[in-house]
Chain A
């Protein structure tokens, strides 16, 4: 902090001040919600009197919250897993090719990220029902996988291209055949990209409303959908508590990936 102040001259004060304000603006709503979750009262206001954990206890009582949280987490991990199975081979196959066909295929596989999730949601809903597949966890899984594939594909492509073909050539000269090259050299070197992409996919999936909304049933629904209806119907600090819990889970996942692979991969 002192070093930062020392570096700040008159001309730089406005910029630093501005950024201070900006980051406060950015963090404020989140801090407020976390704070609001500890209120002892019934209303969601800040500031308040009395601190308590009662709203966190409420979470455990109100079944839909816990159920949908489990569903969300399970769904996020499963869809990320399937996305990895689909996207990693595709990235390897297309990553180094310079043909127009490869470029077109790559664009197609990255496309879902550009389409409004709302549109993907309801068109998939009707498509699946016309196929006879009703609203279910399987349908949710398919929908979330569609959304997740581009995220994994994008980071794996970036890392794979970065790795450079030299290592694979070196392995080839040393006697490794294709499967061996992939397993011993390529895979270890692209794993940061795989995990970064998976992390993106998991986070997007956890927070996804537009797609999940269309596939919710009484039994199987995701947390954001439950949160939305709770907000519109009940509106008490429990919503602040569950938001905080969800945030902590996301941060936890981020820290795990950061510890193992480093955040640099996320910039890809």
Chain B
């Protein structure tokens, strides 16, 4: 039975309900800041890369055509992808056993090892890359030891080539791979493995059929992360590659130092960005396909 009072109070209450539902606007400062100083520059970059050749002309894709048609630049793009792929693959293979050890075997030493894993990230990338060039110098420690053990006759010239670049990249990236795999591996229920063992599967088969598939998610996350990070790296190539390893970021860096061709640098930057966005898109697809919260 609705009285005038009940109707009136219903109306008051609905208004109050509406008042409370309005969301907080506390995200505005961050949104505006990033909108102006992050999004706008990137957009301006896009425009700059298609800037008309002369006043009044239409948008020009000359930079992009140059990038895709000139074999040198195609080579650089290809090299970027190649370096990223190889680094990612090596990191996955090198990193998984470390993650496995950390989760399953380390026990009390876990936190210590975790610290050791993270510690390099606290040091300057210059420091780490630099350390490699000391170790593998012509008269550096590695060469001295190997020669003393009579494993080699002359000093190895590892530096200034692809080999040392990969070494430096892997050194920087593996912690990211391990840290991506560890939480997923931790979530693998050991009882599933125990069930497999009771059912007759040996240690190796249990690993291949149970543990590995269940931790794939971590590997994929790690791979995408490492791939993206490697795509953007250039310090390692610069310091350890001796000019021999040229990827997109290196090229951009050089272009900026040498020429002032902003449009071209912008185009290269966008290309790099495009590759990264594709990676992100793939990651989202992968994550939602598996029903995983990212």
A–B contact (CB under 8 angstroms): yes
Min CB distance B142 to A, Å, is 9
Given the known inter-chain contacts A109-B27, A243-B130, please indicate yes or no for A86 contacting B113, CB distance below 8 A: no
Contact A30 to B252, CB < 8 A, known contacts A93-B24, A142-B37, A239-B130: no
Which residue of B42, B108, B116, B140 contacts A119 across the interface (Cβ within 8 Å)? Answer: B42
Q: In the complex, which residues of chain B have a beta carbon less than 8 angstroms from the beta carbon of A114? A: 228, 276, 280
Contact call B97/A15, Cβ cutoff below 8 A: yes
Q: Tell me, yes or no, whether A46 is within 8 Å of chain B by CB.
A: yes
Bound-state CA distance A109–B41 (Å) is 15
Given A115-B273, A231-B239, is A210 in contact with B232 using a C-beta cutoff of 8 Å? yes
List which A140-185 residues lie within 8 A (CB) of chain B: 142-143, 145-146, 149, 153
Looking at A122, A224, A243, the one whose CB has the most chain B CB atoms below 10 A away is A122
| Majority DSSP secondary structure for residues of B touching A | helix
Query: Contacts of B276 on A, CB cut-off 8 Å?
Result: 114-116
Question: Which residues in chain A, 84-124, are within 8 Å of chain B measured between CB atoms?
Answer: 85-87, 89-90, 92-94, 97, 102, 105, 108-109, 111-112, 114-120, 122-124
Q: How far is the CA of A9 from the CA of B72 in the complex (A)?
A: 54
Question: Does B1 make an interface contact (CB < 8 A)?
Answer: no
Q: How many residues of A contact B (CB 8 A)?
A: 84
Q: Is B201 part of the contact surface with A, judged by Cβ < 8 Å?
A: no
B 124-144 binary contact with A (CB < 8 Å = 1; else 0): 111111111011010111001
The interface-forming segment of B2-10, B98-106, B191-199, B209-217 is B98-106
A92 CA / B26 CA spacing, docked (Å): 8
Q: Which of B48, B100, B108, B122 contacts A126 (CB 8 A)?
A: B48
Q: What 17 new A-B contacts, CB under 8 Å, besides A119-B270, A126-B41, A250-B123? A: A29-B131, A30-B123, A31-B131, A46-B134, A47-B144, A90-B26, A92-B26, A105-B31, A116-B232, A124-B37, A124-B41, A126-B48, A130-B44, A149-B33, A224-B124, A243-B123, A246-B124
- Residues in chain A within 8 A of chain B (CB atoms): 3-4, 7, 11-12, 15-16, 18-19, 22-23, 25-33, 36, 44-47, 85-87, 89-90, 92-94, 97, 102, 105, 108-109, 111-112, 114-120, 122-124, 126-128, 130, 142-143, 145-146, 149, 153, 203, 206-207, 209-210, 213-214, 223-224, 227-228, 231, 239-240, 243-244, 246-247, 250-251, 254, 263, 266-267
